[in-house]
Structure 1
Amino acid sequence: MAEKSKKTSARHADDARQARRRPAYVDNTRGVANWKHAGEWLKWRGIEDIECITPDLAGVPRGKMMPTSKFTSNTSLSLPSALFRQTISGEYPEETGNFRYDPQDGDLKLMPDLSTLAAVPWESDPTAQVICDIVDPEGKSVDYAPRNVLKRVLSLYEDKGWRPAVAPEIEFYLVALNDDPDYPLQPPVGRSGRTIARGQSYTIAGVNEFDELIDDIYHFSEAQGLEIDTLIHEEGPAQLEINLRHGDPLLLADQVFMFKRTIREAALKHGIYATFMAKPMQGQAGSAMHIHQSVTDAKTGGNIFCNRDGSPSSKFFSFIGGMQHFVPKALVMMAPYVNSYRRLAPQMACPVNNAWGYDNRTVAFRVPHSDPAARRVENRLPSSDANPYLALAASLACGWLGMVREIVPDSPTETTANEGTTVDLPRGLLDALSVLEDEPSFIEVFGKDFIDIYAGVKRGEFETFMEVISPWEREFLLLNV
């Protein structure tokens, strides 16, 4: 026993020496400062492979996997430029209008942002991931890459001495496995052995139906340094919502990008799907990505939506004015697919207007009750299928345009704004694209290259959709026309 005690003591002493030698940053769950720290972070964790990923126009992770020894040896990483002209169905649209391909399909370089370095907790082998920016061979930022589009908008705020903050709320459905796209999606079976019914909004029982899956979401998130504020059950059957804490828009876009991946992986582990489609089930509520937005003075840290006496400032009202005027024209960046506009329909829970009001969930732009220091504007129009970088860029750009142009909003709506059959927004994908392209202010805030490429890809997706014959057409046209 004495010999065993000596060995245990020696092991503890060795562990203590190892801990003293270990730099503090290797314990970071997310992000390191430089390449030296990255190498030590990977070594101490025994990481074998690393995924270098970047969001494409759809927000799909694209990139390369490699051994960590190659990653830390200054290996050049590149992707073909055509990847950013690919539709969600994997096709490459014909050149039309201002949409063009690089005639050489030259390489674009992946530049790892080491502040995003994190583990991939669902992999069986020790694996890490890092989000990358896209630059050209000379190192210049590529304007149409989604992460760079958001950075461009944030630089406009920085030039004015402003610092925006956002808090996204992401809704999604859990659905039973479905390997035939001709069949409608169905809710999964929960721990009770039954499929969950609709009308479970905010019930704890609805959340508890998927306790083990939700535990994995929390564990996977914690291992990546992703912080969930709250999780609730929404109105639809097996529809959940995750709320994130407010913070820097680029950081939050990165988190949404990684959360979507994390939630899908956790669901697959339990034999079900997680979907961020805007309208996955006919007759059920759609899934939104509401965005709470505020702006502070970069020097003082004070909320510029407030006067010194706590009353709403002129910038608060002009931010709302910009949202009212420009968001309908930028809607396609927040509702990017044909399916998105099935959510934006009359008689559904989401707004189909450009009205604003205080604590009014029937308007597009809601001002929640809060202390003056927390005064913010919630954009309720984006759907959860949106690329988070583009949705945040669009929403913040519209508010910025309102502030710099001092746009005066309408009077706040004090009644229900969602009654009737009127839709005060583009009603479909092509309409939304046309108003995006026709707004000259968007060249300044998003860049011409982005608008031309985005519009070309979206038109390509619409043409692909038009090739599909729907059940509605077979039901009502087959024998009646």
Structure 2
Amino acid sequence: MLKKKKNSNGKSQQKGPAPYLLSPRGVKDWKQATEWLAWRGIEDIECITPDQAGIARGKMMPAKKFISNTSLALPSAVFLTTISGEYPEDGHGFVYPEDDGDLKLVPDLNTLAVVPWESDPTAQVICDLARQDGRAVEYSPRNVLRRVMRKYAELGMKPIVAPEIEFYLVHKNPDPDYPLTPPVGRSGRPIGGGQGYSIAGVNEFDELIDDIYHFSEAQGLEIDTLIHEEGAGQLEINLRHGDPIELADQVFMFKRTIREAALKHDIYATFMAKPIQDQPGSAMHIHQSIVDAKTGQNVFSNPDGSESETFRHFIGGLQKHIPNALVMLAPYVNSYRRLTQSAAAPVNTRWGYDNRTAAFRVPISDPSARRVENRIPSSDANPYLALAASLACGLLGILNRIEPDAPATKTVNEDLIELPRGLLEAVALFEQDKQLHEILGESFVTTFAAIKRMEFETFMRVISPWEREYLLLNV
């Protein structure tokens, strides 16, 4: 709608469009949503929500139906499936719901944005999951993170996070039996490794990166920096710090955006933790700080600028509980191929100042920006669950006043292994940590563990090239 103002004669005259109409992302209420959609001539709406894997699930509908108070629902089974579409077995506290009843999709209008890669005018909105009586679905990823945020709010605190997401660009690979290979850049030559922070490496994909920027701007997603990482065709996007729910939403949307931009250029973008043998893995590092909910002051620092007890206890909580929450940070069999000794992906629970061989790095900063970087999560993790896990572990440290060990001052990623080495071991530790269950919710814990156990069984059905190469004629 157009705002009106009075001129010097007291008569009304038209002004420009209301600010919310020009905003690329989010509106306040359904009235504004109706006008926002009409202003852009939106024809269709994608109502989406992340499942346990972080995949967008939902429904598409005409814009006119969306704003007519239509009830949206999806079967609960959609949010209880493995990455391959199978269903977990009952056991270990998990019971599959016999009725497979519907769950309501409740649009969060703060996330309303266009879908810039669609040819027809299309918008998207992230939805929360609720039961028919209005109760939140405890095991849905967005609600798990929201539950952790409420625990901090009860203490008068608010977490601030900034994710860094690594990913690979690779040749299209319709046959999964063949290894992935780096794409050809604008030079006409296949991309090689060893391009960390290379501007020339970024420039190889100028047109694709331009599309990523344009798609992001159209959705109101703000990229802080973009770099070329060490791997062949491996890039990293850093996001501006902010509210964990908003940042998880942004990572969720960025993954869609980057995949679509890559497809436009006839290549794949992959967030697998270890997509190419002998190349570095892809991480989702999470920078974390905590502020006072009333003053906005960083509670990791005392008034004189020194480190606070809360800061130390947060690190202590990460050290003690992250091994038990690892399945949320490294959720697939492939994730553990990234977590290896003598690599930038840590297998320890040490911490240190600007030490990238430690799991928890404290970057050099002013006291107001004091933060802890969790370097363990891989980019295949569901962003809502990765943030929830890391913040929950830090919160347990604060609640239980857990003191960290001495900071590491040398390389600590060559001999020390303090994390589970595989998915089943990680699931077992996850199920044993009752304090973590209290923070995350028992319903989520049993559901997620059951899904991961079934995914492992599915993986075990596949015979690998290594087995055919070394066992076929030798045993």
TM-score (ref. length: structure 2): 0.97
Partner of 2:340: 345
Pairing partner for 2:430 from 427, 436, 455: 436
Q: Secondary structure at the match of 2:336?
A: helix
Deviation at 1:348? 2.3
| More deviation, 411-420/223-232 | 411-420
Partner of 2:303: 308
User: Is the 8 Å Cα contact of residues 53 and 381 (structure 2) preserved in structure 1?
Assistant: yes
Are positions 1:102 and 2:97 aligned together?
A: yes
Q: Secondary structure at the match of 2:269?
A: strand
Instruction: Tell me, in whole angstroms, the C-alpha distance in 1 between the residues paired with 2:429 and 2:413.
Output: 23
Unmatched segments (≥5 aa) in structure 1: 1-16
Partner of 2:234: 239
Are positions 1:154 and 2:149 aligned together?
A: yes
Pairing partner for 1:389 from 360, 377, 384: 384
Q: Secondary structure at the match of 1:318?
A: helix
CA RMSD of aligned residues (A): 1.1
Instruction: Tell me, in whole angstroms, the C-alpha distance in 1 between the residues paired with 2:387 and 2:73.
Output: 26
1:217-239 per-residue CA deviation (whole Å, 9 max, x = no partner) reads 00000000000000000000000
Deviation at 1:92? 1.4
Partner of 1:14: none
Partner of 1:446: 440
1:252 partner letter = L
Instruction: Tell me, in whole angstroms, the C-alpha distance in 1 between the residues paired with 2:192 and 2:79.
Output: 40
Partner of 1:472: 466
Partner of 2:220: 225
Instruction: Tell me, in whole angstroms, the C-alpha distance in 2 between the residues paired with 1:257 and 1:438.
Output: 29
Partner of 1:371: 366
1:196-223 per-residue CA deviation (whole Å, 9 max, x = no partner) reads 1100000000000000000000000000
Deviation at 1:93? 2.4
Deviation at 1:423? 1.8
1:156 partner letter = K
- Equivalent positions of 1:451-466 (< 5 A) are 451-466=445-460
Instruction: Tell me, in whole angstroms, the C-alpha distance in 2 between the residues paired with 1:147 and 1:323.
Output: 21
User: Is the 8 Å Cα contact of residues 393 and 436 (structure 2) preserved in structure 1?
Assistant: no
Partner of 1:47: 42
1:318 partner letter = H
Q: Secondary structure at the match of 1:51?
A: strand
Deviation at 1:18? 11
Instruction: Tell me, in whole angstroms, the C-alpha distance in 2 between the residues paired with 1:98 and 1:302.
Output: 41
Instruction: Tell me, in whole angstroms, the C-alpha distance in 2 between the residues paired with 1:96 and 1:401.
Output: 27
Are positions 1:285 and 2:254 aligned together?
A: no
Deviation at 1:102? 1.3
Deviation at 1:347? 2.6
1:461 partner letter = E
Instruction: Tell me, in whole angstroms, the C-alpha distance in 2 between the residues paired with 1:147 and 1:42.
Output: 25
TM-score (ref. length: structure 1): 0.95
Change (3 A) 1:377 1:67: same
Q: Secondary structure at the match of 2:100?
A: coil
Pairing partner for 1:131 from 126, 130, 135: 126
Are positions 1:163 and 2:140 aligned together?
A: no
Change (3 A) 1:48 1:19: farther
Q: Which runs of 4+ in 1 moved over 4 A?
A: none
Instruction: Tell me, in whole angstroms, the C-alpha distance in 1 between the residues paired with 2:141 and 2:290.
Output: 22
Are positions 1:186 and 2:181 aligned together?
A: yes
User: Is the 8 Å Cα contact of residues 46 and 123 (structure 2) preserved in structure 1?
Assistant: yes
Partner of 2:261: 266
Instruction: Tell me, in whole angstroms, the C-alpha distance in 2 between the residues paired with 1:166 and 1:335.
Output: 19
- Equivalent positions of 1:350-365 (< 5 A) are 350-365=345-360
1:354 partner letter = T
1:368-398 per-residue CA deviation (whole Å, 9 max, x = no partner) reads 0000000000000000000000000000011
Partner of 1:205: 200
Q: Secondary structure at the match of 1:124?
A: coil
Q: Secondary structure at the match of 2:165?
A: strand
Instruction: Tell me, in whole angstroms, the C-alpha distance in 1 between the residues paired with 2:133 and 2:378.
Output: 36
Deviation at 1:24? 2.1
1:427-470 per-residue CA deviation (whole Å, 9 max, x = no partner) reads 10000000010001022111111001001100110000000000
Q: Secondary structure at the match of 2:92?
A: coil
Instruction: Tell me, in whole angstroms, the C-alpha distance in 1 between the residues paired with 2:270 and 2:194.
Output: 19
Deviation at 1:95? 2.1
1:311-340 per-residue CA deviation (whole Å, 9 max, x = no partner) reads 000110000000000111101000000000
1:128-179 per-residue CA deviation (whole Å, 9 max, x = no partner) reads 0000000000111110000000000000000000011000000000000111
Q: Secondary structure at the match of 1:312?
A: coil
Instruction: Tell me, in whole angstroms, the C-alpha distance in 2 between the residues paired with 1:18 and 1:430.
Output: 68
Q: Secondary structure at the match of 1:181?
A: coil
Q: How many residues align?
A: 464
Instruction: Tell me, in whole angstroms, the C-alpha distance in 1 between the residues paired with 2:103 and 2:440.
Output: 19
Deviation at 1:96? 2.8
